[in-house]
Structure 1
Amino acid sequence: MFLNRVELQRDLISSYNEYPFSIPTIKTLDRLEIENQVTFFVGENGSGKSTLLEAIAEKCGFNTAGGGRNNFYDVHRSESALGEFIRLSWWPKVTNGFFLRAESFYNFASHIDEVAAFKSYGGRSLHEQSHGESFMSLFSNRFNGNAIYLLDEPEAALSPQRQLAFLRILHDLVQEGDSQFIIATHSPILLGYPNATIYSFDEESIQEIKYEETNHYRIMRYFLENRERFLKDILQGEE
């Protein structure tokens, strides 16, 4: 464990009517305790989970478009709107790590091409691999432990089988005892990682919930168990 608390510095905020403080979960945030090596942020789009994760990445010194402390490149509107208003508590503090932002991963891959840093990512350009292959190359080669990893929707490029392979990589790093993960996700597969902490952003305030209480699990389970009825209700309406 490295990062153990995130606090909103309310004394620096002049108005809660503007983004990102207009987001209910950000508006009501005082402090968020991080007590697990693996923590998940879940919630609908716009609920604030990626906003908070991006702010944490900025405070860690990572490129908020994706990358670590030594990845310098610019992407339009990549700065965090929340970063300067939060405080992180560490024990001990770590400077190694990586911020994965699925939506701007293409820009990160182009940056790696420009600096010719292929060896750290399997020896081949990330652009010469499929989207899923490039993500797995990142996880397999760049994630080496003694670090904090902040991942925003890593499942975006991963098939269900590759999501399971990613969980194996995550588990091996966690078992070594010197890695911490905070992951914003919609994936019921990733959320199933044993003993992880899950924070839901779907209510007025951030709430810790169990895996079986997530909408992701409930909807997927209902769909798989009642596929024909579910699709009939959605596509045709109830008779």
Structure 2
Amino acid sequence: MPVAPDGRPVAVVFADAWTRPSESDHTDDTESVAALLRAGRHGFDVRTAGPAGERSLRDALADPSTVLFAYPGADGDDETAFRRLRRDRGAIRRFVRGGGRYLGVCMGAFLAERGFLDLLDGRVEEYWSRKGATVTTPDPSLVTVSWRGRDRTLYFQDGGAIVLPRRTRRDAEVLATYPDGPAAAVVTSFGDGAIGLVGPHPDAPRSWFDDHGLDHPGDADDLGQDLLDTLMARR
């Protein structure tokens, strides 16, 4: 595994005005995913890249020390988010195909599908508007998923359901499903690399629940780390 000069592998989290809004908005998606990465056992040197990051995304992905790129949740819709990312599409695909890891949380999961970054052989659908969904609003709410066979409740805000064709399901590892069946968290391969996608927010800090008057069901750090560990172990 390539490492930075200090001996640590680098993980890069995307940052722009939609993932890291003004200080008046407490929902800093870039920081929540960065905290998840820092807390793991992989010893990442976590950095940011993008318009509100420490360097350009292309430069960060071309750095041989970078082993993971994470796109967090973000304000707005997926088509607008992709337009802001379009110029870096080729660099992202080359990075993952060459052995890198892509972690997509909420908006980051939507962006992995065909028509956007095209990292996923499948599609990501808006969960709350699906027939049979247990969440019926795009606003902040709670969702219960079955994560490796155990019911867990997570923060949810307009996240996706990951729909895999049969040929992809054979290769993918589904970590979590929504009560009505579709996947909520998946790890699968892309070229020599791998992608990990999740619709809800295992990265959500307690402040997000408090800000929206939601009962806090307990930390989900273990689920975020399970997703991350599975992604990094993928061959």
Q: TM-score normalized by structure 2?
A: 0.32
Between Structure 1 and Structure 2, which shows a larger proportion of helix residues? 1
Which has the higher relative contact order, 1 or 2, with Cα contacts under 8 A spaced 6 or more apart? 1
TM-score, structure 1 normalization: 0.31
Structure with greater strand share of residues: 2
